[in-house]
Amino acid sequence: MHQMEIIKNNMKTIWAPWRIQYLTKEKEGGCIFCQKPKEKRDRKNLILYRGKTGFIIMNRYPYSNGHLMAVPYRHIKEVKNLDKEERLELMNITTKCVEILDVFKPDGFNIGMNLGKIAGAGIDDHIHFHIVPRWSGDTNFMPVIGDIKLIPEYLDQSYTKLLEKLKLKRGEK
């Protein structure tokens, strides 16, 4: 039997009908990191926090549950173009992300910035930090064997948990 036939015969089908909306929707023009904060629809756009020079937004297509991004409002492609106030607040809101993500009890975090398409930046003309919670054993056979990612909670449920944690941290009820 040919190797490709063996692979084909072993392939499993996993239905993910919610992905069709992403695959068939018209792609937005412009920069989402510039547009979404202007819309003033924070819950719909998954914006959790607004600071003076930057904000926290949930990743709509997360690497893992609770994947957040810390983003400056100003459209900046290169780190060297951040002013002192933006650099300080970007680090402070990245730290805030780590603090509020303890609601999910992660064992660790990946924090990083992909600069340029070649480095993996999906949006390469507006810098942003990724804050990705990690758990012991969260990398299992599914991504390796099945090319599948498991996200255990709906975005709206995660948004509510994180927003409540953020409000408690600020002393709001």
Domain boundaries, the chain: 32-170
Catalytic residues: 128
Domain 32-170 CATH (choose: 3.40.50.300, 3.40.50.720, 3.30.428.10, 1.10.150.240): 3.30.428.10
User: Is the whole model's pTM more than 0.85, yes or no?
Assistant: no
Distance between CA 56 and CA 70 in Å, rounded? 5
Q: What is the pLDDT of residues 4-39, one digit of tens each?
A: 454 455 555 555 565 566 566 666 678 999 999 999
DSSP 49: E
